[in-house]
Amino acid sequence: MKVPVYTLKGEMKKSADFPRLFSEAVRTDLINRAVVSEQSHDRQPYGTDPLAGKRTSAHYHGRRKVRHSMMNREMSRMSRIHGTGFLSMTARFVPQATKGRKAHPPKVEKVWRKGMNKKERMKALVSAISATGHKDYVSSRGHLTEGIKHIPLVIENEIEHVKKLKEMDGILRTLGLESEMERASEKKVRHGKGTKRGRRYKRKKSILIVVSDYKGIERAAGNIPGVDVVRISDLMVRHLAPGGMPGRLTLWTEGALEKLEKMLVGQPKAVSRESGE
């Protein structure tokens, strides 16, 4: 697939051929599985104290016709506190009693991580990359594509050396991304208790800039609302398809795509279930 490469001034520099990246079938099922798998790796195990609700002297006397027996006393058979005082014969320990243990508490040993085969994960990544080159997928995510010079959007490697926010902002505007940047600049107040827990505002995901390496651009673009910068060695499916929805508006550097092409040598092609290929 022939893709135009633009300069920092928004002028077309040349056409580059990336035959494998943007011609793959988009497998939404694999993309969703890969995103869930990646998100599960961030989940921190949690659980209760194994002795919670069990630190009590309450116990049960189950024998008949002996002293202090609790049989035939018209009371439910559960562990109770013995002795004198206002807590005498008060039920404890069992789940249905006050201050009792939990019946099925969360356990730390539960495995939250969800695995995925390497070949399937690679296919999901290639699928997500291919979706960024289709205007239909990009528009369906809510991105404003009017005025953008080309999709997929590729720029020369010089952008990786940009270190000033003002300069980075001007470059994105020359590429026709002004309306998309304005869309992401708005933030929304979250409903519910999240407002009390350090996540008061919600902001939309906007442009993803994929570079071959960090050379200063991460400082320049990191403060633009909704814009993320990631190098090609750290690229994951959830960067390209937040929430499992493919088609994020992505700005690629020429060097990043060249590295990707080398990575895909010898990889099997993704098969579309819809087309039956």
Asked if residue 250 lies in contact with residue 141, where contact means CB atoms within 8 angstroms, the answer is no
Domain ranges, ordered by start, for the chain = 2-37+117-263, 44-111
Q: What pLDDT score does 277 carry?
A: 46
| Domain 2-37+117-263 class in CATH | alpha beta
Is pTM beyond 0.85? Reply is: no
**Residue 199, token pair as written in the block:** 């996540």
**Alpha-carbon dihedral angle through residues 108, 109, 113, 118, given to the nearest 10 degrees:** 160
Average pLDDT, the chain: 90
Q: What percent of the chain has pLDDT over 70?
A: 95
Inform me whether the pLDDT recorded for 3 exceeds 60.
yes
Could you give the CA distance from residue 168 to residue 220 in angstroms, rounded to a whole number?
Answer: 6
Give me the residues paired with residue 80 across strands: 59, 91
Alpha helices in the chain (DSSP H): 28-40, 118-131, 135-140, 165-174, 178-185, 217-221, 237-240, 254-263
Query: pLDDT at residue 177 above 60?
Result: yes
List pLDDT tens digits, range 119-134.
Answer: 999 999 999 999 999 9
187-222 pLDDT, tens digit each: 899 999 999 999 999 999 999 999 999 998 998 998
pLDDT at 240 over 90: yes
Q: Measured between alpha carbons, how far is 158 from 63 in angstroms, rounded to an integer?
A: 85
Going by C-alpha positions, the residue among 25, 4, 276 that lies closest to residue 128 is: 25
